[in-house]
Amino acid sequence: MAGRTTSHDVVIVGGRCAGTATARLLAARGLDVVVVERSDLLGDPLSTHGLARGGVVQLARWGLLDEVLASGAPPCRAVTLGIEGREVRRPLKDRAGVDLLIAPRRTHLDRILAEAAVAAGAEVRTCTTVRGLVRDPDCRVTGVVARNEAREDVILRARYVVGADGLRSSTAGMFGAGIQQAFISDVATFYTYVDQVPWTGYELHVGPRSYAGVFPTHDGQAAVWLCRPAELAAGVRHAGARRTDALLEAIAETAPALGERLRAGRAVSRTRGIVAPPNYVRQAYGDGWALVGDAGYHRDPMTGHGITDAFRDAELLADALHSALTDPTAEQAALVEFQERRDEALADVFELTRELTCFPDTSRFVELQIELSEALDREAQLLASLPATRAGAVLTA
């Protein structure tokens, strides 16, 4: 039997990037927001954690970019593209007011976002697991039943419940959120962290049916990664205690010059990875509920930038929920607009991912990368055009 009951405007299930960003934006507008997160927020979740330009724009708009940089995330102002043994390094152009990229470790980024949400007025409850939903007689979602750290069941009632609980979202299933579109990509992605190499910025390398890359991060380290068709990645996947060595050897096959630099460095973590991750776009909202982040939309890490997607969709959802909760007559229109704007924003990159996961020939790969870069720059320009939002306020130009 559930114990204490509390009431709120919004309960957000999931306290990582999507959940805390949404919470901060809603709390800054005066709404009563509670985030429930099953972990203690101190872990380092599976993530290659490279932000696209739009993600950096969002951090700047929210007044958090300086704090992320101060935590030790190195600013990357160049991108290296390696194809068939030839490397070209280009400085990052200033677009949408941003001339750098960053790839912060999630232990730092998630903490900064959670603290920003609390500073804006949200409550974050860690070590709390959602066990079910509360619905009214019309089946509208009106809250959650959760078990807290003391193993007590509590009811958190809410005018809206937001699922931000990631790739394997349990709330999406509880809500009954349908799949709008999906495709299968039999791709394996593995990464580890390497230090003692003078990193110069983001890197992307193309080899025979393989992509490899570098995202410099905290403590002089970089996440170095490899994408291959799953059957070609078996040597890494099944290497056991030698998995990190096998990964570095496979990267050297894809990009020999990068392999040389990695051999001069030192691997400082175990190798992590994911095989054949799902690619889907889910229904974004329903009666009393909504989804944000990977819970609502996920694509293969090959085109990555899931954090940037989460930041963008957090803003779109916060706008919609604020309108719906302050003017109930606008609820349906606001949520319809949220889904339409989200679907329009993700459409180009979703389709580009579909084609890239088929590992096209080099000339087509270059064409797709140009299209991807243009799509990400359009997104950054759109986000930069929105009103700046900092703790406790929406700043108008």
Q: Are residues 307 and 322 in the same domain?
A: yes
Q: Are residues 281 and 383 in the same domain?
A: yes
Instruction: Give the residue from 219, 248, 275 where a domain finishes.
Output: 275
**pLDDT tens by residue, 359-386:** 999 999 999 999 999 999 999 999 999 8
Q: Are residues 223 and 74 in the same domain?
A: no
- Spatial separation of the C-alpha atoms in residues 53 and 99, rounded to whole Å: 8
Per the structure, the complete domain to which residue 37 belongs is given by 5-183+277-395
Q: Are residues 30 and 63 in the same domain?
A: yes
**pLDDT tens by residue, 70-129:** 999 999 999 999 998 799 999 999 999 999 999 999 999 999 999 999 999 999 999 999
CATH code assigned at 117: 3.50.50.60
For the chain, helix (H) and strand (E) counts, in that order, are: 11, 21
163 near 14, Cβ under 8 Å? yes
126 near 40, Cβ under 8 Å? yes
Q: Are residues 169 and 29 in the same domain?
A: yes
Q: What is the DSSP letter of 13?
A: E
In this prediction, residue 393 carries a pLDDT of 43
Q: Are residues 281 and 270 in the same domain?
A: no
> What tokens were used for 356?
């890239």
Read off the pTM. Answer: 0.95
CA angle (117 as vertex; 114, 120 as ends), nearest 5: 150
Exposure string over 273-309, b if 16+ CB within 10 A, otherwise e: beeebebbbbbbbbebbbbbbbbbbbbbbbbbbbbbb
Q: Are residues 149 and 100 in the same domain?
A: yes
- Type of residue at 296: G
Q: How far is CA 160 from the centre of its chain?
A: 22
Q: Could you give phi then psi for residue 221, rounded to 5 degrees?
A: -95, 165
Q: What are 7's strand-pairing partners?
A: 157
Q: Are residues 76 and 224 in the same domain?
A: no
CATH code assigned at 258: 3.30.9.40
Total number of domains constituting the chain: 2
Q: Are residues 253 and 358 in the same domain?
A: no
Q: Are residues 130 and 56 in the same domain?
A: yes
Q: Are residues 52 and 141 in the same domain?
A: yes
Report the candidate in 114, 115, 253, 107 with the shortest Cα–Cα distance to residue 193: 107
In this prediction, residue 389 carries a pLDDT of 63
Instruction: Give the residue from 241, 275, 309 where a domain finishes.
Output: 275
14 near 125, Cβ under 8 Å? no
Q: Are residues 64 and 50 in the same domain?
A: yes
> What tokens were used for 73?
């995330």
Q: What are 229's strand-pairing partners?
A: 187
Instruction: Give the residue from 237, 252, 275 where a domain finishes.
Output: 275
- In angstroms, what CA-CA distances link 272 with 17, 138, 189, 211, 381? 20, 44, 8, 16, 33
In this prediction, residue 2 carries a pLDDT of 56
Exposure string over 116-132, b if 16+ CB within 10 A, otherwise e: bbbebbbbbbbebbbee
Tens digit of each residue's pLDDT, the chain (397 residues): 457 999 999 999 999 999 999 999 999 999 999 999 999 876 777 677 899 999 999 999 999 999 999 999 999 999 999 998 799 999 999 999 999 999 999 999 999 999 999 999 999 999 999 999 999 999 999 999 999 988 999 999 999 999 999 999 999 999 999 999 999 999 999 999 999 999 999 999 999 999 999 999 999 999 999 999 999 999 999 999 999 999 999 999 999 999 999 999 999 999 999 999 999 999 999 999 999 999 999 999 988 789 999 999 999 999 999 999 999 999 999 999 999 999 999 999 999 999 999 999 999 999 999 999 999 999 999 999 988 765 444 432 2
